[in-house]
Structure 1
Amino acid sequence: MRSNDSNQCVIAHGSAISGKIMHVPNRLRVLVASPLGHVVAGPLQGALEQAVVTVATSEDEFTRSVAGHVRFDVVVADLIWNRPDLEWHFDGLDAIDALNKHDRQAPVILATQGHGLEHDHLDEARLRDEVAGVIAKADGFATLMSAVRAVALGQGLAEKPGTPRRAPLYELFTGQRGHTAGRLAGAIASGHASDGASLARAAKVSPNTANKVTSHYLGPIISERGEEPASSPMTQAAVYRWCGLHARYLISWCRRNGHSDVLGLMPS
């Protein structure tokens, strides 16, 4: 594994990974970003000889861990942060962007809960070069340990998500039209729009643009993804309902792509 900082050390070629303890000379640096990170930090520290395991249980702790410090060799982050005060404000994709923002890029392993709310996030994760792999929390500590070992040695993981069932929103929200669609969707998903007039105000677009949310912006995206209503025409109500179903990702996307102004005050 390459070193990205002059004082960050390289794992020696031929390091044993089959035994209980992984012999890592010169201190492998691992960041565990999760509200329950301390649960696995101890066992991880014990299994990685001489490793330094840092835990971040909030966005502020994550920022303090990476900003101005030597970069980590491996970052393990929850894809969805399952804590009431965090779930609408920070997730594993935010963690990736924070690493890039502070010029502390590192291979990231994303840990999933295994529920449907993660699908849109996983679709983006599949397309992000920073993601080394995805593991399921339900698979237990052995899977986490194997993943950290593999990534630390520069090996990929087979668990990175495959081809999505639908066109990823991450790809559809590109270009000027895509970003406008994303802004409209975020304003609706955050609960700050109930009709064309309030949508125009929340998304800071013209009334004409807001009135085209069904015909030109979100309606075509919903249809392309095969999520249009089965037995009724595409209506404004159907678009608003769709935004509610995808709210976690839509809010995350706006937050991470310079459109947080459409979200207003989110619950905390």
Structure 2
Amino acid sequence: MFRLRGDGWEPVTVGESDTLVYRRGDVFAKCCAVSGVGELRDERDRAEWLAGTNLPAATVADWLESADGACLVTTAVPGIAGTELPESLQLKAMESLGRILRELHSVRGCPFERPLASVIATAEDVVRRDAVNPAFLTDEWRLLKPSELLDRVIAERPSIEAGAELAVCHGDACLPNVFFDPGTVEVTGLIDVGRLGIADRYSDLALTAIQLHDEWSADPGPFFAAYGVPNPDQRRLEFYRLLDPLTWG
């Protein structure tokens, strides 16, 4: 694991990443071992690209690499994470989130891709290694073997792929990765963009909607309305809701 030098670095324990994250003042440092350098470098490249758009995001402050691994240093975005917002602000936040995702999905010229085939290949690897985290599954899904859940995904793939609406997607558009101004409740930054790339826009919509339900116990209707799809395709939402937890492990 890459070791940071200097004093004042405080560990950050929020998140599901295998990397170690630290904060010092207005910067964050995400460190990894040698095995994770390629993945962290991909995140660096995506963060640099996103920072070059008009969307609010963290900027890359430094990149450090050694025989022990690597470290990505980014600026802290202002505001607070979606998970920290009080209930009284959640409706406005859902509307802001819908608008910012619509803006992201409208950006052109993204050089990164995240095709469904590669996402499913990741899921196949996680399932094969028996590394699916049951905490990411619903009670209903836990009654089945991960391989059976994967079979569902593969069976649905041709139909979902045929109707895909490709756009620049965040890839992990969950509430901890979106920051808000607690006064205006506008989005102040998107972070953790290691999975950013051209994909079906429903891959973002599905993950965000289930987060709103799980974290806030909120009806995602205002989010979908602000995004511009008041009647989303439920079949596609369900497909990506099932696929996502099979890709972490």
Under a length normalisation based on structure 1, what TM-score does the superposition of the two structures give? 0.27
- When Rg is computed on C-alpha atoms for both structures, the one with the higher figure is 1
Of Structure 1 and Structure 2, the greater strand share is in 2
Under a length normalisation based on structure 2, what TM-score does the superposition of the two structures give? 0.29
